[in-house]
Amino acid sequence: MDCPGGTICSNGVCVSSASSSTSCNDSDGGVNTGVTGTVTTNLGTFADTCQGADVVEYSCSQAQQAVSSVLLCGTSASCQGGRCVRSVCGNRVVEPGEQCDDQNQLSKDGCSNSCTKEQGYWCPKQGGSCRLIEPGLFCGEDKKFNVFVLMDDTSYTATDQEIRDYFTFTSQLLYDRTCVVLNITQIFHVSINNPSDIDPITYNLMSQNSQIVRNANGFVIFTEKLSCARLNGGCAWGISPSYQQIGINNYCNTYARYDRINNILYGSVIDWNHLYGACGYDEDQTQRISSVSVNGQCRNQPGTQCVLHNGYYICQNLVNTYYASDARLMTASTIIHEIMHHYGFGADGYIDHNVGSPGCLNEYRHTLDNVLCPANGDLADCFFNMCQYTYENFIRAENICS
């Protein structure tokens, strides 16, 4: 079995890798899959976490070591926030055994009293109110946003299948909010040694693959060489294929924002391995330098304990937050976040971030009020820190290419 950092596999269970542990304390009193617990030894702190629908449960051994086992939550339960939670129809969360959940136990509203979909309705895959599917509306169409990918092999090691699996997860997040599929058309592996390499490598690749560019609506570059990706997770980058360095004339984006020109390819530069809530690491998130938070980490709460979660050390005060519920969420949400910037205010993109602000609400047309947010109900988490109007503009994108 694969064991997280700081532990090794011994007789089928993960145990702390050092053998000098002299004390061990389990906050949930042993093996208790219904409670998110933490095990603290003199070697470190280990938090119960999720592995898919199963729970990775930490407890103390007789030798006073932290040990972990992967335990099944069962067919009518799933792992959430490091504990097993039984499925409940009517709690607005689609759980194992359910097809939908609209926060009630009534039928004839799209989701039945047993949480199964009713014919003729579209229901959010994460839960929430269902909508009638009508021809011509966005949920009744098979809409795709096509992207090609540049993976910097000097920054990361990722196979094509791993990249496609990641985009399948990202596409589901986008679809749940917009009914639009994020579709990879091509993956290119490149070597970016310096920030100055990004422009010429990107332009040259586009120039040599004109048909792929013409069929694309956007692109994603995975590299840690650009500071906006390394430090912040990512940034948006729009390119006109008609640039002299590329030379693809008459490019037309079939998914252009309805009120803007349609000759721009909507791109982004993303850090493939950006860590949410990283604790005790250096600025580049590559070296662990402390067992507690430093340099403004943990929402600027210095001295916060770092705990092992999702395979890396995270701020203890962030373990049970939405983005910590799945290690893939940070990068996946950043991809969607940067795409949405192209459908926001452009040069004044900072306004796009202020979810719930007067400026955001002034632009929002309230067509997405029924999209389910995470269990905490936080709109910023639900829309990945982008105002809802950016998603509305994305949904309204039109193919005006002849």
Per-residue pLDDT 10s for the chain (402 aa) are 566 655 666 656 566 655 566 789 999 888 898 899 999 988 888 899 998 888 999 999 888 888 888 999 887 788 888 998 888 899 888 888 888 999 888 888 889 998 988 876 778 777 888 876 544 344 555 689 999 999 999 999 999 999 999 999 999 899 888 888 999 999 999 999 999 999 999 999 999 999 999 999 999 999 999 999 998 999 999 999 999 899 999 999 999 887 777 899 999 999 999 999 999 999 888 899 999 999 899 999 999 999 999 999 999 999 999 899 999 999 999 999 999 999 987 555 567 887 888 888 888 887 787 666 665 668 888 899 999 989 988 988 877 786
Q: Is residue 176 part of a domain?
A: yes
Q: Is residue 317 part of a domain?
A: no
pLDDT at 370: 67
CA separation for the pair 395, 390 (Å, rounded): 9
Q: Are residues 96 and 194 in the same domain?
A: no
Strands lying side by side in the sheet with 13-16: 7-10, 13-16, 66-71, 54-60, 49-51
pLDDT at 348: 53
pLDDT at 138: 47
User: What is the end-to-end Cα distance of the chain in Å, rounded?
Assistant: 55
Which run of H or of E encompasses 379? helix 379-382
Q: Are residues 189 and 334 in the same domain?
A: yes
Tokens of 345: 């205010």
Q: Is residue 301 part of a domain?
A: no
Q: Is residue 248 part of a domain?
A: yes
pLDDT at 137: 41
H helix intervals, 144-278? 160-178, 198-208, 210-214, 227-232
pLDDT at 221: 98
Q: Are residues 237 and 370 in the same domain?
A: yes
Q: Are residues 259 and 386 in the same domain?
A: yes
Radius of gyration of the chain (CA): 23
Beta-sheet strands, E only, within 241-324: 265-270, 306-309, 312-315
DSSP string, 330-376: HHHHHHHHHHHHTTTTGGGGGGGG-TTSHHHHHH--SS-TTSPPPTT
CA separation for the pair 291, 381 (Å, rounded): 27
Range of the domain at 126: 87-133
Tokens of 333: 């949400």
Choosing from 30, 46, 71, the residue where a domain stops is: 71
CA separation for the pair 251, 218 (Å, rounded): 12
Q: By C-alpha distance, which of 183, 245, 263, 238 is closest to 208?
A: 245
Q: Are residues 181 and 260 in the same domain?
A: yes
Domain count across the chain: 3
Which run of H or of E encompasses 182? strand 180-190
Q: Is residue 312 part of a domain?
A: no
pLDDT at 374: 64
Q: Are residues 348 and 390 in the same domain?
A: yes
- Residue 148 contacts residue 185 (beta carbons within 8 Å): yes
DSSP string, 389-401: HHHHHHHT-B---
pLDDT at 36: 92
The CATH number given to whatever domain includes residue 371 is: 3.40.390
Q: Are residues 53 and 160 in the same domain?
A: no
CA separation for the pair 207, 188 (Å, rounded): 13
Q: Are residues 150 and 112 in the same domain?
A: no
Q: Is residue 233 part of a domain?
A: yes
- Residue 179 contacts residue 139 (beta carbons within 8 Å): yes
Q: Are residues 242 and 192 in the same domain?
A: yes
pLDDT at 29: 87
Q: Are residues 59 and 99 in the same domain?
A: no
Q: Are residues 129 and 177 in the same domain?
A: no
Choosing from 21, 41, 71, the residue where a domain stops is: 71
Contacts of residue 10, defined as CB under 8 A and 6 or more positions apart, other chains included, come to none
pLDDT at 4: 60
- Biggest CA-to-CA distance, the chain: 73
pLDDT at 372: 63
Q: Are residues 203 and 61 in the same domain?
A: no
Q: Is residue 122 part of a domain?
A: yes
Contacts of residue 211, defined as CB under 8 A and 6 or more positions apart, other chains included, come to none
Q: Is residue 281 part of a domain?
A: no
Q: How many CB atoms lie within 10 A of CB 165?
A: 13
